[in-house]
Amino acid sequence: MIKKVKVDQLKPGVYISDFNCNWISHPFLTSKKRINSYRDVEKIKRTGIDEVYIDTTKGIDVYDTFSKDEFLRIFESDSFQISPGDELDFEVQVPLKKELKRAREIQNQASQILKKAYQDIRYGNGIRVDEVASTVKEIVNSISRNHDALLLISNIKNKDEYTYEHSINVSILTAGICKALKMEKEEIVDYTLGAFLHDIGKSKIPNEILNKKTPLTPKEFEILKKHVNYGMELVSSHEHISENALSVIAEHHERLNGTGYPRKLNEYEISKGGKVGAIIDVYDALTSNRVYHPPLNPVQAIKEIYAQRLIHFDEDLIEQFIRFLGIYPPGSIVKLESGFLAIVIEAGRANILRPIVRLIYDLKKDIPITPRNLDLSKGIGELHNIVGTVDPIYYKINLNEYLLNLALS
């Protein structure tokens, strides 16, 4: 597909099919060009070209992002207003610093349990749902103590562990949104368990398909789709699995307009668990480093999902999800007016534009700095103003390393 994009959106791997100007005005010999590095992007920017045409069949796609103003417009729109009493629950019981280390341990433990579950199934043994349920309860308890801790930790990602990390992250986000929506503890645990096991049927899909480095053929995609039915076969008869948990496994690929799978359910037939699962499943897939696309930053992923409200995803639930994540979700990298880059570590609940951040880089001097925390709500002026989110790859920021250090400090 040929599409027009802003030069700011360009990144390595994009194929420019037309510079949208005559060739003398741009720095390359031909009017078609594959972007190989951010230096290429800088060269184009310097010519003053604002928009170019890209061909997404010959290179990777780029995604749009919400500007601060667009976000505020959504937050202030009529449909987004909530009546008193319906506000989300953002209460925390322990400070972030105290919960972070535990959150990292829970993430590691959850990963081991899930790997074991996959192995058990592959060796023909049944899945130990009681073991899985106890790690899920740990996730839910951590979220109740301080939801930002696991949300932040969920940004530690390793491309090779995608299958496990994805399931754990979907369960963390599910626990978070269910808690924010003030569900009963039992209901939160049920949906989180469903989220944790939502892709368990993939344990029956050949690794060649799961880890394929090129896009799947239609036949391979049909095989992959079977993971939903396999998942149901593996767990539906188990006594520890409630109907709410099963709904997430069975319906996370259903879409409101009936184009999902396996049952092509419509908006009125899909359960709440299926609707929540669908949004979170796609959000985590988009923000992860996949074979088909580099990771989107959280704000880009939200924009992609928001654009599909009413068509694929439930509008009310997306709005709740956006409200839950905030404009700058934990783990986003933001640029401050003062010229610093910072990692968002706690979303701004009182003031959505002013989260607590960790300063990591001085753009004016172009050097990393000793990380330190700053509460943007406690002050005004250029040091405390966010200009926008940035792509960590652009500034060669190793987010994993910063987050691991933070969890261990």
- Encoding tokens for residue 368? 């990393």
Question: 285 or 333, CB closer to Fe ion?
Answer: 285
Contacts with Fe ion, 115-154, as mask; x by CB under 5 A: ----------------------------------------
Applying CB under 5 A, the span of 97-105, 148-156, 281-289, 376-384 interacting with Fe ion comes to 281-289
CB-wise, 199 or 254, nearer to Fe ion?
Answer: 199
Complex with Fe ion: residue 129 or 248, whichever CB lies closer: 248
Give the H or E element holding residue 343. Answer: strand 340-346
Least separation in angstroms between CB 188 and Fe ion: 19
Yes or no: say if 10 and 43 are a contact pair by the CB < 8 Å rule. no
Binding segment toward Fe ion, per CB under 5 A, in 18-26, 55-63, 232-240, 278-286: 278-286
Q: Which stretch binds Fe ion (CB under 5 A): 117-125, 276-284, 354-362, 383-391?
A: 276-284
User: Least distance to Fe ion from the beta carbon of 317, Å?
Assistant: 17
Element (H, E) at 51: strand 51-55
Residue number, 195 or 356, with CB nearest to Fe ion = 195
Does 254 bind Fe ion (CB under 5 A)? Our answer is: no
Q: How many CA atoms lie within 13 A of 59 on its CB side?
A: 19
Q: Which is nearer to Fe ion, 52 or 317 (CB)?
A: 317
As beta bridge partners, residue 311 has none
CB of 146 to Fe ion, least distance (A): 26
Give the C-alpha separation, 265 to 288, whole Å. Answer: 27
Buried residues in 235-265 as b, exposed as e (16+ CB within 10 A): beebeebbebbbbbbbbbbbbbeeebbebeb
**CB 277, min distance to Fe ion, A:** 8
The pair of structure tokens assigned to 35 is 């972007």
Q: C-beta of 201: minimal distance to Fe ion in Å? A: 8
Nearer to Fe ion (CB atom), residue 165 or residue 281: 281
Q: Which amino acid makes up residue 65?
A: T
- Minimum distance from CB of 178 to Fe ion (Å)? 17
CB 185 within 8 A of CB 145: no
253 vs 272, beta carbon nearer Fe ion: 253
Q: Which two tokens stand for residue 313?
A: 């995803």
**Least distance from Fe ion to the Cβ atom of residue 262, Å:** 11
Distances (CA, A) of 199 to 87, 93, 252, 287, 358: 31, 31, 9, 17, 34
Site size with Fe ion, rule: CB under 5 A? 2
Instruction: Round to whole Å and give the CA distance between 314 and 109.
Output: 32
Q: How far is the CB of 283 from Fe ion (least distance, A)?
A: 10
CB closer to Fe ion, 19 vs 162: 162
Task: Find the shortest distance in angstroms from Cβ 86 to Fe ion.
Answer: 29
Minimum distance of Fe ion from residue 123's CB (angstroms): 22
Measured from the CB atom, is 197 or 376 closer to Fe ion? 197
Q: Is 281 in the site for Fe ion (CB under 5 A)?
A: yes
Q: Which stretch binds Fe ion (CB under 5 A): 88-96, 274-282, 312-320, 354-362?
A: 274-282
Judged by beta carbon, residue 281 or residue 314, the one nearer Fe ion is 281
In angstroms, rounded to a whole number, what is the distance separating the alpha carbons of residues 87 and 171?
Answer: 22
Q: Which amino acid is at 197?
A: L
CA distances from 339 to 45, 47, 345, 369 (A): 20, 24, 18, 12
Classify strands 367-375 and 386-390 as parallel, antiparallel or unpaired: unpaired
**C-alpha distances in angstroms, 352 versus 280, 316, 344, 356?**
21, 19, 12, 10
Q: Residue 192 Cβ, how far from Fe ion at the closest point, in Å?
A: 14
40 touching Fe ion, by CB under 5 A: no
- Which of the ranges 112-120, 264-272, 273-281, 362-370 carries the binding residues for Fe ion, by CB under 5 A? 273-281
Cβ of 116: how many Cβ atoms within 10 Å?
Answer: 15
Residue with tokens 């009936």: 258
Positions 176 through 235 that interact with Fe ion (CB under 5 A): 199
Q: Residue 77, exposed/middle/buried by CB under 10 A (0-12, 13-18, 19+)?
A: exposed
**Interface positions with Fe ion (CB under 5 A):** 199, 281
